[in-house]
Structure 1
Amino acid sequence: MTKHYAGDRTIDGIVVTVDGEPLDEHTDSKCYTRNGFEWSYEGPEPSQLAYALLVDHLGDPARAEGLQPAFMRSVVANFQNEWEMTSADIDRILARLA
């Protein structure tokens, strides 16, 4: 089943969802920041978002942690204010980064 990920900067703040539900930050397994998600630059908040997307997609925190730096720099740091991607998009990106 293909998952749908989306992010938006709203009047109420940052919203990141997977299939319409809030994306877990996964700070219990790896904490880059407690300040929530962000994107469009390189830093701890985009790192947390990259990690959370990868953990949700891969189901493997250790593998997600290893892939996070490249995924954050090449993808999350380049997101626009609103973004969407699917699990198939993530698979394509990871194949390209390998």
Structure 2
Amino acid sequence: METDSTTHPRVVQDERERCQATGDHVEYVGMRVDGTPVVLNLTEHERLSPDRSLDLVRHSPAGFDWGYTGSGPAQLACALLLDYTDDESVAHQYYIQFRDAVVSQLVCDGPADCWHLTGADIDAALSAFQDHHTLTPDGGKPSPSLPANWSAVSRADRTVFQRRDIDHYVVLAEGSEEWLIILCAQGDRAYPAPLDHRTLPVGTTPAPAVQELVTESNNLVEPEEEA
């Protein structure tokens, strides 16, 4: 009796192990060639193109960049996630976080004057993003130091100031050496999109910076008048 080799248990197991090994060794490298950003998928021995990611989001038709939060890094973040996961929904959902957390930190250094990013790095970042939860309005208490359309909500790891009329938030989180204060908007995203931010030494009171971002939000979109 003939056996279909593609469904033989040993063949299936070998294929799974091969795919796992391939994923574990995926590596991307970025460099500047005559000032032009170039990104290579070393595993596939090919240059990463923005074309496929541009069908998903169009931040930078001119190409990729890295080392800051902007349109070029956003396009690269989307292209990397799309190339690595081959999943448009994952790339679209997480590319902004991936840009802010990973691509903005990439620096060309070392003897080869380039950066390296592995599949394990990407997996770790995606895992961290998936641990975050969507911010949703949950009441909160009015603060005498904030306008009437804002309330404060204490969380286990951060304090969130929420607008009552639109989905703007000021998130106050303490890092190892500084406060990170972010004005962001939820919209239909799974994770808030940053609009502006402040960083301050931990020894500095964050209240004035929070008030600045609250005022900025109210200036961007005027509060609704109470009936």
- Assess same fold via TM > 0.5: yes
Give the greater-gyration-radius structure (CA).
2
1:5 aligns with 2:32: no
2:30 and 2:86 map into 1 onto residues whose CA distance is 20
In the TM superposition, residue 62 of structure 1 has moved relative to its aligned partner by 1.9
1:45 aligns with 2:72: yes
1:21 aligns with 2:46: yes
1:84 aligns with 2:116: yes
In the TM superposition, residue 12 of structure 1 has moved relative to its aligned partner by 5.3
In the TM superposition, residue 97 of structure 1 has moved relative to its aligned partner by 2.3
Q: Give the aligned residue type for 2:128.
A: R
Deviations 1:13-39 (A, max 9, x none): 211011231112121232211110000
Identity %: 34
1:71 aligns with 2:98: yes
Larger RCO (alpha carbons 8 Å, 6+ apart):
1
**RMSD of equivalent CA atoms:** 1.3
Aligned residue for 1:37, secondary structure, equals coil
1:79 and 1:56 map into 2 onto residues whose CA distance is 18
Is this contact kept in 1: 2:26–2:118, CA < 8 A? Answer: yes
1:94 aligns with 2:126: yes
Larger displacement relative to structure 2 (70-79 or 5-14) = 5-14
In the TM superposition, residue 61 of structure 1 has moved relative to its aligned partner by 1.2
Aligned length: 98
Higher-helix-fraction structure:
1
Deviations 1:27-75 (A, max 9, x none): 1232211110000111111000000000011111122011011100011
Q: Which runs of 5+ in 1 are unaligned?
A: none
User: Could you list the runs of 4 or more consecutive aligned residues of structure 1 that deviate by over 2 angstroms after TM superposition?
Assistant: none
Aligned residue for 1:6, secondary structure, equals strand
Q: TM-score, normalised by structure 1?
A: 0.91
Larger displacement relative to structure 2 (22-31 or 36-45) = 22-31
Q: Give the aligned residue type for 1:11.
A: D
Which residue in 2 is equivalent to 1:55? Answer: 82
1:24 and 1:11 map into 2 onto residues whose CA distance is 18
Is this contact kept in 1: 2:56–2:92, CA < 8 A? Answer: no
